[in-house]
Amino acid sequence: MSGPSVVLAVDGNSIVHRCFHAQAGSGFRSADGRPRWAVRGLLSQLVAAADRVAPDAVVVGFDDPAASVRRERWPQYKAQRGEKLAALVEQLEVAADVLRELGVAVVVPPGWEADDVLASVARQAADAGATTVVMTSDRDAFGLIDAHTRVLRIINGGVEASPLLTPERLVTLLGVRPEQYPDLAALRGDASDNLPGVRGVGPRTAAKLLCALGSARAAFDDLDAGGERVVAAVGPAAAALLGDPAARARWELNRQVMTMRTDVAVDLGTGHLPLPVDAVRAAFAAQDLTWTAALAMRVLAHDESAPPPPPRTPLETGWAPGRGRGYRAPKRLPAKPVSDQLTLF
Per-residue pLDDT tens digits for 256-270: 999 999 999 999 999
Mean pLDDT of the chain: 90
Q: Which CATH superfamily is domain 1-170+263-338 in?
A: 5'-nuclease (3.40.50.1010)
List Cβ neighbours of 95 (8 Å cut-off, separation of 6 or more).
12, 16, 38, 39, 42, 62
Q: How many CA atoms lie within 13 A of 40 on its CB side?
A: 26
Q: Residue 163's pLDDT is what?
A: 95
Q: Residue type at 151?
A: V
Q: Residue type at 293?
A: A
Determine how many CB atoms are found less than 10 A away from the CB of residue 307: 9
Task: Give the gyration radius of the chain's Cα atoms.
Answer: 21
Q: Compute φ and ψ for 6, nearest 5 degrees.
A: -135, 125
The predicted model gives 148-171 an average pLDDT of 95
**What pTM does this model have?**
0.88
Q: How confident is the model at residue 2 (pLDDT cuts 50, 70, 90)?
A: confident
The predicted model gives 96-118 an average pLDDT of 98
Q: Residue type at 74?
A: W
Q: Residue 327's pLDDT is what?
A: 37
Q: Which residue has the higher pLDDT, 15 or 316?
A: 15
Compute the C-alpha angle 261/255/219, nearest 5°: 135
Delimit the domains of the chain by residue range: 1-170+263-338, 178-258
Q: How far apart are CA 139 and CA 141, in angstroms?
A: 5
User: Is pLDDT at 306 greater than 90 in this prediction?
Assistant: no
Q: Residue 290's pLDDT is what?
A: 85
Determine how many CB atoms are found less than 10 A away from the CB of residue 202: 13
- Cβ atoms of 213 and 232 closer than 8 Å: no
CATH class for the domain made up of 178-258: mainly alpha
Q: Residue 108's pLDDT is what?
A: 98
Q: Residue 338's pLDDT is what?
A: 32
